[in-house]
Each structure stands twice: as structure tokens, then as C-alpha cells.
Amino acid sequence: MTTATKTARTDKNGSLASEAELAAEIEGLRKDLSALTDRFAQLGEAGMRTAADYSRETRTAAREKGEAVYADISARASAFEREASAQIRRHPLQALGMAAGIGFLAALITRR
């Protein structure tokens, strides 16, 4: 004895729902799913815009800070160069002796 079982949906009154009603309900669910998908896509796009804005702001701040550090280092290097140049002009023989000594040490180190 084989029994075929059918699952049918019942409405509020306990009567079986027709195929048309089920199809309409499925279509409503599809529309809801489509609306949810669209909403998630919009949220994702908004998140990407927010991340892009944050990245742009961070990049701008980092560039500005880098430029400030570069300007500071450049100013310090220029001041050091001016000071070294002034010292060399004041004590030329001493500067020549130091340069020769540094060259000699560099030659010793590179030979080994």
C-alpha cells in the first residue's frame, strides 16, 4: 500500500490554499528578497564611500605630515651644511687632516 503524501498550506480558516495564492506569496517573497538585496548593495556602497573618504583623509594627513618632516629635515641639513662649511673655512688644515684620516680608515675597513 503506497500512500502519496502532499503537503499543502492551510490559510487562517484551515482550508487549503490555492496554487494561485501560493504563487502570489512566493512572488511577494521574491520581491522582498530583491528589495533586501538592493538595500544590502546600497549599504555596501555607502560603506565603500565611507572607507574611501577615510582613506583619502588619512592619506592627505600623512602626506602633510611627511611634507612637514621633510621640510624640517631639509632645514636642519642646510643648517648643518652651513655650519660645516663655516668650520672648514675657519680651520682648513684641521679639516684636511680629518678628511685624510677618515679616508685612511675607510680604506683599511674596505680592504678586509
Q: Per residue in 8-65, pLDDT tens?
A: 455 555 556 688 888 888 888 998 888 888 888 888 788 788 888 888 889 899 999 9
Helix (H) / strand (E) element for 83: namely helix 19-90
DSSP 1-42: ---------B-TTSPBPPHHHHHHHHHHHHHHHHHHHHHHHH
Residue 53: predicted pLDDT = 84
Contact 27, 14 (CB under 8 A): no
47 vs 2, higher pLDDT = 47
DSSP three-state, residue 95: helix
Average pLDDT over residues 102-112: 91
Residue 93: predicted pLDDT = 92
Does position 4 have pLDDT exceeding 70, yes or no? no
Alpha-carbon distance 43 to 38, whole Å? 9
Contact 33, 41 (CB under 8 A): no
Residue 90: predicted pLDDT = 94
Residue 51: predicted pLDDT = 80
